[in-house]
Amino acid sequence: MLPLPKKYFLTAASCEGETELTAFDRALLEAGVGNTNLLRVSSILPPGCEYEPGLIIPPGSLLPIAYGTITSCEPGARIAAAVAVGIKKDSFGVIMEYEGYCSKAEAEEMVVKMCREAFRVRGLELDEIKIAATEHLVEKIGCAFAAVPLWY
């Protein structure tokens, strides 16, 4: 089977670019995962996976990652992305992502709400929620990106 990730962190960043894809690329760079190969997952914190902020991912790595992202070409638009990790001791956790034309606070509120619902339907008690979020006022072409990279 594919190896179970053992470490994670949260990150969020926004950036402008000359195109939608390079705005995304630059937001990834700001978020510290721009030189890796994102492998998008949906989205459970493996049991025993430990929080390690500041983790450096080697360039080119296949990086399992849960993320929310939005790119916009509407100058003046406010965009935001957020992630939340719902944590329960001695259990797996749940990761929720959100992105939209909204403020950082609204995106944060959404991921927290979704995390609570995810725990409630699983009959799990929530010990802690970690969140990361970003908002951006689009100048020309902008991207907001929030993520939970899972690593080894």
Which residues are near a second copy by CB under 8 A? 1-5, 17-19, 21-22, 24-26, 28-29, 34-47, 49, 58-62, 64, 66, 91-92, 94, 96-98, 110, 113-114, 117-118, 121-122, 150-152
N residues, the chain: 152
Only one residue has tokens 């929310």, namely 68
Shortest gap between Cβ of 6 and a second copy (angstroms)? 9
List the beta bridge partners of residue 67.
147
Q: Based on CB atoms, which residue is closest to a second copy, 2 or 89? A: 2
CA dist 11 and 83 (Å) reads: 8
Shortest gap between Cβ of 74 and a second copy (angstroms)? 19
Going by C-alpha positions, the residue among 25, 22, 17 that lies closest to residue 138 is 17
| Residues taking part in catalysis | 37, 42-43, 97
Shortest gap between Cβ of 31 and a second copy (angstroms)? 13
Q: Based on CB atoms, which residue is closest to a second copy, 20 or 103? A: 20
CA dist list (Å): 91 to 49, 125, 126, 127: 10, 10, 10, 10
CA dist 121 and 22 (Å) reads: 38
Q: Based on CB atoms, which residue is closest to a second copy, 55 or 103? A: 55
